[in-house]
Structure 1
Amino acid sequence: MININTLTGFNFYACTLALLTAVLFCADVNGQKKTSRAANYYVDSKKGDDNFNGRSSKKPWKSLEKVNKTSFAPGDSVLFSRGGVWQGQLVPASSGGAGKSIVFASYGKGEKPLIQANGNTRDAVLIRNQSYIVVRDLALTNKDEKVKEQKTGPTGVRVFSEDFGTISNINLAGLYIHDVNGDNKKGSKEGNGIFWECAGPKQSNIENLVIEDCLLELVDRNGIRGNGTFGIRTNWFPNKNLVIRNCELRDIGGDGIVIKAFDGALVEHNKLFYNRMRAKDNAVGIWPHSSDNTVIQYNEVAFTQNNDWSNDGQSFDIDGNCKNTVIQYNYSHDNDGGFMLVISDAINKDNIVTQNNVIRYNLSVNDGLKRKRLFNFAGVTDSTSVTGNIFYNDTQQEMAIELADIEVGIPKNVVFNDNSFVFAGNTTGVFLKSPKQYKPVMFSGNQLTGNIAGKDNLVNLVDKVETGASRNAQFPQVSSFPWKFLPEKCRTENSGFPQTIYSEMTGK
Structure 2
Amino acid sequence: MPRFYRATCKISLFAAALLCGGFTAKAATYYVSQSTGDDSLDGLAAAKAGAKGPWKTLTKASIEYKAGDSILLKKGDTWNEEFTPHGSGTPEKPILISSYGQGNKPLIDREDFKQDRIGIRLDNQGGYKIVGIEFARCMTGIYAEYAKGAPTRKYLWIEDCYFHDSLFYGRYEDYPKRKIGLGVCLFSRETDKKIVMQDIMVKNCVFRRLASGFWTNSPDNFNKNASFVYNFANLNFENCLFEEGYQWQLGIRGVIKGSVKNCVTHDVGRGFRSFNGVAGAMFFRCKDWIFEDSEWGFVDIGLGSGDGEAFDFEGNCDNMIMRNCNFHDTDGPGFLLCCYASDGHPNMGIVMENCVINAKSKRPLQPRVRAAIINTTDWTEATWNNCRFYLSKGEGIMAVMDREKDKRSTFKDCFVKNLSAAGSSPKHPAQMTEIAVAAGATGPAFLLDFGRPVSINEFKLKEDPASGISRYIIETWDDKNSQWRSCFNGRGIGGEFVCAIVPQTTSKARLRVIANSKEKAVLTAFDAHNDPLGDPLNVARGGDTPNRPGK
Q: Confirm or deny a common fold (TM above 0.5).
A: yes
Give the alignment partner of residue 204 of structure 2, picking from 213, 227, 239: 213
Contact 2:29 2:44 in 1 (8 A): yes
The one-letter code sitting in structure 1 at the alignment partner of 2:97 is: F
Q: Secondary structure at the match of 2:56?
A: coil
Task: Kindly state the Cα deviation for residue 408 of structure 1 after the two structures are TM-superposed.
Answer: 4.2
Q: Secondary structure at the match of 1:97?
A: coil
Q: Quick one: structure 1 residues 128 and 495, their matched pair in 2 at CA, closer, same or farther if it must change by over 3 Å?
A: closer
Partner of 2:106: 113
Q: Secondary structure at the match of 2:61?
A: helix
Work out the CA distance in 2 between the residues paired with 1:347 and 1:322.
Answer: 10
Task: Kindly state the Cα deviation for residue 303 of structure 1 after the two structures are TM-superposed.
Answer: 0.7
Contact 1:219 1:252 in 2 (8 A): yes
Work out the CA distance in 1 between the residues paired with 2:170 and 2:241.
Answer: 20
Task: Kindly state the Cα deviation for residue 290 of structure 1 after the two structures are TM-superposed.
Answer: 0.4
Work out the CA distance in 2 between the residues paired with 1:326 and 1:475.
Answer: 34
| 1:66-465 paired onto structure 2 within 5 Å | 66-68=60-62, 70-117=63-110, 118-119=112-113, 120-142=115-137, 154-163=139-148, 164-187=150-173, 188=175, 189-200=179-190, 205-220=196-211, 222-229=212-219, 233=226, 236-277=229-270, 278-280=272-274, 281-307=276-302, 310-345=305-340, 348=343, 352-371=345-364, 372-379=370-377, 381-393=379-391, 399-410=393-404, 412-425=407-420
Contact 2:77 2:107 in 1 (8 A): yes
Task: Kindly state the Cα deviation for residue 498 of structure 1 after the two structures are TM-superposed.
Answer: 5.8
The size of the alignment, in residue pairs, is 403
Work out the CA distance in 2 between the residues paired with 1:495 and 1:243.
Answer: 28
Contact 1:123 1:142 in 2 (8 A): no
The one-letter code sitting in structure 2 at the alignment partner of 1:51 is: S
Task: Report the structure, 1 or 2, having the larger helix content.
Answer: 1
Percent identity of paired positions between Structure 1 and Structure 2: 20
Work out the CA distance in 2 between the residues paired with 1:307 and 1:408.
Answer: 27
Partner of 1:43: 32
Work out the CA distance in 1 between the residues paired with 2:389 and 2:417.
Answer: 6
Work out the CA distance in 1 between the residues paired with 2:37 and 2:67.
Answer: 24
Structure 1: gaps of 5 or more residues: 1-34, 144-153, 426-449, 451-470, 478-486
Contact 2:320 2:351 in 1 (8 A): yes
Partner of 1:65: 59
Work out the CA distance in 2 between the residues paired with 1:300 and 1:491.
Answer: 23
Task: Report the structure, 1 or 2, having the larger strand content.
Answer: 2
Q: What per-residue deviation string (whole Å, max 9, x for no partner) do you get for residues 205-237 of structure 1?
A: 2111111111111112x1112113478656834
Q: Secondary structure at the match of 2:315?
A: coil
Task: Kindly state the Cα deviation for residue 112 of structure 1 after the two structures are TM-superposed.
Answer: 0.7
Q: Quick one: structure 1 residues 333 and 81, their matched pair in 2 at CA, closer, same or farther if it must change by over 3 Å?
A: same
Contact 1:261 1:290 in 2 (8 A): yes
Q: Quick one: structure 1 residues 475 and 197, their matched pair in 2 at CA, closer, same or farther if it must change by over 3 Å?
A: farther
Superposition CA RMSD, Å:
3.0
Q: Secondary structure at the match of 1:291?
A: strand
Q: Quick one: structure 1 residues 305 and 340, their matched pair in 2 at CA, closer, same or farther if it must change by over 3 Å?
A: same
Q: Quick one: structure 1 residues 420 and 303, their matched pair in 2 at CA, closer, same or farther if it must change by over 3 Å?
A: same
Work out the CA distance in 2 between the residues paired with 1:260 and 1:495.
Answer: 34
Partner of 1:492: 454
Q: Secondary structure at the match of 1:65?
A: coil
TM-score of the pair, normalised by structure 1? 0.73
Task: Kindly state the Cα deviation for residue 243 of structure 1 after the two structures are TM-superposed.
Answer: 0.4
Contact 1:47 1:62 in 2 (8 A): yes
TM-score of the pair, normalised by structure 2? 0.67
Which deviates further from its counterpart, 378-387 or 109-118?
378-387
Task: Kindly state the Cα deviation for residue 337 of structure 1 after the two structures are TM-superposed.
Answer: 1.5
The one-letter code sitting in structure 1 at the alignment partner of 2:249 is: G
Compare CA radii of gyration and give the structure with the larger one: 2
